[in-house]
C-alpha cells in the first residue's frame, strides 16, 4: 500500500462523522464478533481491562458498561429491556431468598416465570398469534410489527434458571444488582450463548483474575478456530450456495438440492459452534470459563448422543428445567400429555386440511402416530415409556418453539422429540452389550450408525432452514427424484469448485479424531508468541479479504 493510499484510507475512515458512527447503533450494520469494528473495540477494551484485574468492583462496573454498549451496538435501545429484566429477576430472587414462607416463595417464583415468559412471548409470538387468528377466522386484525430483541431467548433462560435455582436453594443470590447484571449482560455470550448457569458463573466474578500462558494460548486458538468456521466456511457456502438454493429450489437440480442440505448442515454447525468458540475464547482472555457448547455432534451414533453434543447448554437447560419438572420418566404430568396431544390433534387436522391435494400428509401423520404408539407398546416398561415419551416430546416441541413461533420449528422439534422417544424404546428392547473389544463388525456398525444419525439430523435441518413448509416439501420432493448422473454431478462440482472444497475441508475438520485436535491445540500452545500473533493476523487478513459481502450475522442471533 502506498503512503498516498494509506493517507486517503485514514481520511475516509477516521473523519469525525465516521468516528461518531462507531458509537451509534445502525440496524443495517449491527456489531458482530467477526467485524473489524468489534476487533478494534475489543482491543481498546482489553487494554484497559488488564489494568482493572486487581480491582474487582471497578472491573465489574467496567465490564457491565462495555457489555451494555456492546448490546446497544448489536441490538439498539433494547439494552433498556435487558436492564429491566435484570432488575426484576434480581428483585424476585431476593424476595424468594428472604422469605421463609413457602407460599410467598412460590408466588414470586410463579410471578418471575410469568413476567419472563410474558416478555419473551410478547416479542416472539405476538405476530404469529395474530397471523394465525386472521388465517383461521378470516380476520383483518392488524398490529404493528414487533422486532425481536437480539439474544432475548438466551438471557431470558439465564435469568429464569437463576430464580429457579435460588428457589431450590441450590445457590445463594448475587451479592448485588451490579453483580447480577454482570452475569446477565456478560457480552461474550450475551446474544447467542452458551446459556450460562448462575452457580457456575457468579462465583467467578468474586475470584481474583489470573491468566496463564496456556489459557491465553487456548483462548487465541478458540478465537482463530471460531473465525475460520464462521467467516471462511459458514458465510461463504451460505452466500454462494445454500441461500440461493433454499430461496428457489426448483431452479436447481436434485443433486444441488441435496448438496444444499449437506451445505446447511455444515453451515449451521460452523456458524453456531464458531460463535461459541469465539465467546468461550474471549471470556477466557478475560479470566472467565464458559461451558463447552459443542462436541463434534455429527460424530454421534444416535440421536440421544447428538443432543449430548449439540447446543449442550440448551439441551441441559431443557432437561433440568423442563423435562425433569414435567416428570421425566418418573411420572406423567398434565402439561406433558397436553402439549403432545395438542400436537397430534393439530397434525391430524392439518393432514385432513390438505387431504384433497394429496394423501401423503395423512399417511405421514398416521405413520408417525402408529410408530409413537408402537414405541410405547413394545417397551418392556410400558407405563414408564408412556410418561417419558410424552414428556420428551413436549420438551422438544417447546424447544422448537423456543427457536420461533413457526410451523417449521415445531416440526423440527417434533421430529427430534419422536426420534428421541423411538431411540429410548429401541435401547430398552435391544440393550447394548458392553464390550471392550472393538471388532470389525462393531466398528462398521458404529460408522453406519453415524451416517444414519447424520442424515436424520440433516433431514430435520430442511424444515429448520426453509422459509416455510412448502419450500421444505419442495426440496424433499426434488431430492426424491435424484438420479445418478456422473457427468452432470461432475459439471456441478466443477461449477461450485470452491464450495465443494470448503464442504470437504469443513466435514474433514469436524470428523478429526479428538487426539488430532488435542495435538493441534498443544502444538499451538507451545509455539512462540510471535508465531501466534502472525497466525492471528493472517487469519484476520483472510477473513476480511474474503468477506466481500461484509460480516454476516450469526444464525442464532434471530433467536
- Pick the catalytic residue from 18, 57, 138, 403: 403
Q: Beta-carbon neighbour count of residue 503 at 10 Å? A: 21
Please tell me the distance from the alpha carbon of residue 217 to that of residue 526, in angstroms, as a whole number: 8
Cα 40 from Cα 47, distance rounded (Å): 11
Question: Could you tell me the three cell numbers for 397?
Answer: 416441541
Task: Write out the three cell numbers for 247.
Answer: 430461496
> Helix, strand, or coil here: 408?
helix
Angstrom distance (rounded) from CA 251 to CA 318: 39
- Whole-number Å distance between alpha carbons of 393 and 67: 36
Say if residue 194 is preceded by a cis peptide, omega within 30 of 0: yes
Q: 559, 403 in Cβ contact below 8 A?
A: yes
Q: Is 403 a catalytic residue?
A: yes
Can you tell me the distance from the alpha carbon of 415 to that of 461, in angstroms, rounded to the nearest whole number? 10
Q: Find where cell 448422473 sits.
A: 485
- Which grid cell is 146? 414487533
Rounded to the nearest angstrom, the gap between the alpha carbon of residue 341 and the centroid of all alpha carbons in its chain is: 27
Grid coordinates of 188:
461474550
3 state SS of 4 = helix
Contacts of 40 (CB under 8 A, 6+ apart): none
The per-residue b/e assignment along 429-460, b for 16 or more CB within 10 angstroms, e otherwise, is eeeeeeeeeeeeeeeeeeeeebeebbebbbeb
Q: Which residues of 354-385 are buried (b: 16+ CB within 10 A; e: fewer)?
A: eeeeeeebbeebeebeeebeebbeebeeeebb
Tell me, rounded to whole angstroms, the distance of Cα 142 from its chain centroid.
31
What H or E segment, with its residue span, contains residue 518? helix 514-526
* Catalytic residue ranges: 403
Amino acid at each position: 500500500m502506498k503512503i498516498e493510499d494509506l493517507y486517503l484510507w485514514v481520511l475516509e475512515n477516521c473523519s469525525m462523522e465516521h468516528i461518531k458512527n462507531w458509537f451509534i447503533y445502525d440496524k443495517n450494520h449491527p456489531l458482530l464478533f467477526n467485524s473489524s469494528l468489534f476487533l478494534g473495540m475489543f482491543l481498546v477494551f482489553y487494554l484497559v481491562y488488564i489494568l482493572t484485574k486487581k480491582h474487582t468492583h471497578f472491573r465489574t462496573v467496567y465490564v457491565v458498561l462495555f457489555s451494555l454498549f456492546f448490546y446497544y451496538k448489536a441490538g439498539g435501545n433494547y439494552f433498556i429491556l435487558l436492564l429491566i429484566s435484570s432488575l426484576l429477576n434480581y428483585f424476585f430472587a431476593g424476595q424468594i431468598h428472604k422469605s421463609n414462607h413457602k407460599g410467598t416463595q412460590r408466588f414470586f417464583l410463579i410471578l418471575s416465570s410469568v413476567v419472563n415468559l410474558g416478555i419473551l412471548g410478547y416479542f416472539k409470538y405476538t405476530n404469529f398469534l395474530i397471523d394465525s387468528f386472521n388465517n383461521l377466522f378470516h380476520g383483518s386484525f392488524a398490529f404493528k410489527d414487533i422486532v425481536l430483541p437480539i439474544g432475548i431467548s438466551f438471557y431470558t433462560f439465564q435469568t429464569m434458571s437463576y430464580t429457579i435455582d435460588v428457589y431450590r436453594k441450590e445457590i445463594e443470590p448475587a451479592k448485588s444488582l451490579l453483580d447480577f447484571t454482570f452475569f446477565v449482560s456478560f457480552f461474550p455470550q450475551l446474544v447467542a450463548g452458551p446459556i450460562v448457569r448462575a452457580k457456575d458463573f457468579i462465583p467467578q466474578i468474586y475470584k481474583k483474575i489470573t491468566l496463564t500462558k496456556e489459557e491465553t494460548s487456548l483462548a487465541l486458538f478458540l478465537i482463530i478456530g471460531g473465525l475460520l468456521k464462521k467467516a471462511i466456511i459458514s458465510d461463504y457456502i451460505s452466500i454462494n450456495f445454500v441461500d440461493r438454493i433454499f430461496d428457489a429450489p426448483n431452479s436447481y437440480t436434485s443433486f444441488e438440492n441435496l448438496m444444499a442440505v449437506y451445505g446447511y448442515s455444515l453451515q449451521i454447525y460452523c456458524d453456531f459452534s464458531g460463535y461459541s468458540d469465539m465467546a468461550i475464547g474471549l471470556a477466557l482472555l478475560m479470566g472467565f470459563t464458559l461451558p463447552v457448547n459443542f462436541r463434534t455432534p455429527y460424530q454421534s451414533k444416535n440421536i440421544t448422543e447428538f443432543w449430548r453434543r449439540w447446543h449442550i447448554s440448551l439441551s441441559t437447560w431443557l432437561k433440568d428445567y423442563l423435562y425433569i419438572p414435567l416428570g421425566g420418566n418418573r411420572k406423567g404430568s398434565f402439561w406433558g400429555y397436553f402439549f403432545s396431544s395438542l400436537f397430534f390433534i393439530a397434525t391430524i387436522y392439518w393432514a385432513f386440511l390438505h387431504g384433497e391435494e394429496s394423501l401423503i400428509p395423512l399417511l405421514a401423520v398416521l405413520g408417525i402416530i402408529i410408530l409413537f404408539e408402537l414405541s410405547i407398546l413394545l417397551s418392556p416398561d410400558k407405563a414408564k415409556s408412556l410418561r417419558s415419551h410424552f414428556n420428551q416430546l413436549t420438551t422438544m416441541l417447546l424447544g422448537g418453539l423456543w427457536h420461533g413461533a413457526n410451523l417449521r420449528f415445531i416440526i423440527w422439534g417434533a421430529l427430534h422429540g419422536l426420534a428421541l422417544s423411538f431411540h429410548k424404546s429401541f435401547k430398552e428392547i435391544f440393550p447394548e452389550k458392553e464390550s471392550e473389544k472393538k471388532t470389525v463388525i462393531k466398528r462398521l456398525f458404529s460408522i453406519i450408525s453415524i451416517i444414519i444419525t447424520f442424515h436424520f439430523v440433516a433431514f430435520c435441518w430442511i424444515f429448520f432452514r426453509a422459509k416455510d413448509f412448502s419450500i421444505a416439501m419442495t426440496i424433499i420432493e426434488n431430492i426424491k427424484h435424484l438420479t445418478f448422473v456422473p457427468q452432470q454431478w461432475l459439471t456441478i462440482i466443477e461449477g461450485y469448485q470452491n464450495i465443494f472444497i470448503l464442504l470437504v475441508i469443513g466435514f474433514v475438520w469436524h470428523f478429526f479424531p479428538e487426539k488430532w485436535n488435542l495435538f493441534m491445540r498443544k502444538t499451538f500452545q507451545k509455539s512462540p508468541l510471535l508465531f501466534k500473533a502472525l497466525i492471528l493476523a493472517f487469519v484476520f487478513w483472510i477473513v476480511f479479504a474474503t468477506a466481500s459481502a461484509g460480516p454476516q450475522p450469526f444464525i442464532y442471533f434471530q433467536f
